[in-house]
Amino acid sequence: MKKSKVGKPLTMPGMHQEESLSLGAVGASASQLNLANHFLIAMPSMNDPIFGGAVVYICEHNDKGVLGVVINKPTDMTMDVLFDRIDLKVAEGLRPSVEDAPIMFGGPVQDDRGFVLHSPGGRYSSSLSVTDDVAFTTSIDVLEAVANGSGPRRMLVSIGYAGWSPGQLEEEIARNGWLTVGADARVLFDLPIEERYNAAIKLLGIDPLMLATEAGHA
């Protein structure tokens, strides 16, 4: 009988294993700005090779810094490949939409580790409840549940995450590197990946084409 991996961090085979990510209670940062459950939207003028064109979902923002996940940059890995790499047997009849779902590039931090944004439900060993609609889990037991057909109804799996030290993101926002808006779980989980950037901008009541034009004349 295969030994359960429940409770272990979701580490990619062939990579070194990092210490478990510390997930604390979501609290106000030192600057009193709390962007948990917000989208960061890269300004069209951002030419950064990692974050250019990115939408980042912020999971945690407190006096230790900011942790988020890029939600619109797919890798060439899909869920079925991930299941195979971490040696999880897939239940008969698992939906093709689950097996074929792409894994996101979540950010450059701990890019040998997997992270899961998902709808709440289930008890996982290392999980943070961000809102009533979104949880963030770093332990492999959530993927064991997905593979056996009992996992979250909505989810996004990433390799790596995005992190900022205290005050760093606030400085980038002040330099007009990012737009911020309250997150919408529908954009996070339901929209096609290629539509998420424009949809996030529209949450601000801005026409994405107008924003691109203004950025081009900045």
Q: Which domains does the chain have, with CATH numbers?
A: 38-216 (3.40.1740.10)
pLDDT digits (tens, 9 = 90+) for 82-139: 999 999 999 888 888 899 999 999 999 998 899 999 999 888 999 999 999 999 999 9
CA 40 to centroid of chain Cα atoms: 12
pLDDT digits (tens, 9 = 90+) for 27-79: 444 457 899 999 999 999 898 999 999 999 999 999 999 999 999 999 999 99
Spatial separation of the C-alpha atoms in residues 172 and 126, rounded to whole Å:
30
Residue 9 — pLDDT band, cuts 50, 70, 90?
low
pLDDT score at 18 = 38
Give 54-58's long-range contacts (Cβ < 8 A, gap of 24+).
54/197, 55/187, 55/196, 55/197, 55/200, 56/107, 56/162, 57/117, 57/134, 57/183, 57/188, 58/183
pLDDT score at 106 = 98
Task: State pTM to two decimals.
Answer: 0.85
pLDDT score at 213 = 58
pLDDT digits (tens, 9 = 90+) for 184-196: 999 999 999 999 9
pLDDT score at 212 = 67
